Homo-oligomer: A and B are copies of this chain.
């Protein structure tokens, strides 16, 4: 019945039917393994609009989905089988405006596809993520990534959206005019960015592009203690300005897990330090203009190695991608070593050392069986405070995850005024923490606004 109606509406080839084909739409990347009422792949924004009108009339729930790479299950259908998954992956047209330095992308365009098209003009969307998400999904999640410190989040890159509203007409609202400035009252797109399509389905995105990086250097930087990181970071920012494009932290446990799991990785340290930074200097300006990232990066660090009480005990400069390979191997390494309780927190940047110290001593005291394997974007005040229950310790594996999370988030949010979801967003996996921590008045306002945007709740989970 439902499938018949959808076929009539969108054509037979718009439905994904075969169980083998359905898996990637129904199984989440990290969490969730649900069952969709149906899975459709509209080919145009008008299809999406027709679908919205149909869902409203027939009382169905729609769940928009991009590349389905999110980490909080926001695009994964629930077990109840109530959602029609609307995969936007066929909306994959890209148009580059090299003079305007912008790109118009269908919501389903993959980040890799956009960057391939942009590279022909020496341009790129400068958001660097482990996954290959769709541009629509990146806008819906307000993606961040490892170079946010230099380029900002997806909100910053987004110049315009095309959206299908959840009103009775399935209105198509479009602001794809490539404007960098347009101050004429409420900027509606800001309500769609980062809210997971709770107010409408994003069908296309216009982004600003940046010149591609032509040279980069990295360094592993070992602080004498974690509370010295702030001084080093501020000093590097003074010396490197916009060339400082990443500042990632890695704990000894995180590095060890990566090296154990990937024995072929180069081993930069004789013995792994308790915590180190991976810093990157990169530039779109080529070296033949006299700028050399490796020299500048080294110079920015030297002063911190001098003297008995120097903030740094070691600096290892590298060209190429070795250190990034180490950094990107952490997630897999942790997964291989046990059950991971992944947490994506952020605090005021100057509080990173203090929050890390507080969390470490408290978690060690309360949950000694869990291994603290934190890493992440400390240059932005972010930390993936991940805990591992080792595979060989069943007692550790039996610890209640939600109890651990509440224990950690209470410190982060209530003591440090931090965030329990820095860049992964809100989905079924963590929405109950929103209820725990969010300001009551603020939440009531949000709800009232989403009721304006989606009065009958087509897009509410």
On A, residues with C-beta under 8 Å from B are 97-102, 122, 141-142, 144, 148-149, 152-153, 155-156, 165, 167, 171, 173, 177-188, 190-191, 194-195, 198, 211, 230-231, 233-234, 237-243, 283-285, 289-291, 296, 299, 346-351, 377, 380-382, 417-426, 434, 437-439, 441-442, 445-446, 448-450, 452-453
Q: Which residues of B contact A238 (CB under 8 A)?
A: 122, 211, 284
Q: Is the CB of B441 within 8 A of A173?
A: yes
Q: Is the CB of B194 within 8 A of A187?
A: yes
The verdict on A191 contacting B186 (CB below 8 Å), with A152-B156, A234-B98, A240-B285 known, is yes
Q: Which of B99, B381, B418 contacts A234 (CB 8 A)?
A: B99
By beta carbon, the residue of chain B nearest A443 is: B185
Give min CB distance, A383 to chain B, whole Å.
11
Q: Which residues of B contact A283 (CB under 8 A)?
A: 241
Q: Which residues of B contact A100 (CB under 8 A)?
A: 348-351, 381
Bound form: Cα–Cα A415–B144 in Å: 35
Bound form: Cα–Cα A149–B241 in Å: 16
Q: Is the CB of B191 within 8 A of A195?
A: no
Copies per assembly: 2
Q: Which residues of B contact A243 (CB under 8 A)?
A: 285
By beta carbon, the residue of chain B nearest A422 is: B181
Contacts A173-B439, A183-B419 known; list 15 others, CB within 8 Å.
A100-B348, A101-B234, A141-B183, A149-B180, A171-B441, A179-B346, A182-B346, A182-B419, A182-B421, A186-B195, A188-B445, A190-B190, A238-B284, A242-B242, A445-B452
Bound form: Cα–Cα A153–B152 in Å: 12
Q: Is the CB of A184 within 8 A of B421?
A: yes
Q: Which residues of B contact A167 (CB under 8 A)?
A: 441
Q: Which residues of B contact A291 (CB under 8 A)?
A: 291
Q: Is the CB of B446 within 8 A of A185?
A: yes
Bound form: Cα–Cα A419–B178 in Å: 10
Q: Is the CB of B441 within 8 A of A380?
A: no
Q: Is the CB of A180 within 8 A of B99?
A: no
Bound form: Cα–Cα A439–B165 in Å: 13
Q: Which of B173, B194, B284, B346 contacts A442 (CB 8 A)?
A: B173
By beta carbon, the residue of chain B nearest A299 is: B289
Q: Is the CB of B178 within 8 A of A348?
A: yes
Bound form: Cα–Cα A242–B283 in Å: 9
By beta carbon, the residue of chain B nearest A141 is: B183
Q: Which residues of B contact A434 (CB under 8 A)?
A: 184-185
Bound form: Cα–Cα A453–B449 in Å: 9
Q: Is the CB of A181 within 8 A of B346?
A: yes
Q: Is the CB of B211 within 8 A of A241?
A: yes
List 15 A-B pairs, Cβ < 8 Å: A100-B349, A100-B351, A153-B181, A165-B445, A177-B418, A180-B382, A181-B419, A181-B422, A182-B421, A183-B422, A183-B423, A183-B424, A184-B434, A185-B194, A289-B296
Q: Is the CB of A186 within 8 A of B99?
A: no
Q: Which of B194, B233, B237, B296 contacts A211 (CB 8 A)?
A: B237
Q: Which residues of B contact A98 (CB under 8 A)?
A: 234
Q: Which of B122, B142, B178, B421 contacts A349 (CB 8 A)?
A: B178
Q: Which residues of B contact A187 (CB under 8 A)?
A: 190, 194
Best-buried of A233, A241, A380 by chain B (most CB within 10 Å)? A241
Give min CB distance, A353 to chain B, whole Å.
10
Bound form: Cα–Cα A168–B100 in Å: 46
Q: Is the CB of B381 within 8 A of A179?
A: yes
Q: Which residues of B contact A240 (CB under 8 A)?
A: 285
Q: Is the CB of B173 within 8 A of A231?
A: no
Q: Is the CB of A421 within 8 A of B346?
A: no
Q: Which residues of B contact A299 (CB under 8 A)?
A: 289
Bound form: Cα–Cα A433–B152 in Å: 33
By beta carbon, the residue of chain B nearest A430 is: B184
Give min CB distance, A321 to chain B, whole Å.
21
Give min CB distance, A299 to chain B, whole Å.
7
Q: Is the CB of B442 within 8 A of A179?
A: no
The verdict on A186 contacting B349 (CB below 8 Å), with A181-B148, A381-B180 known, is no
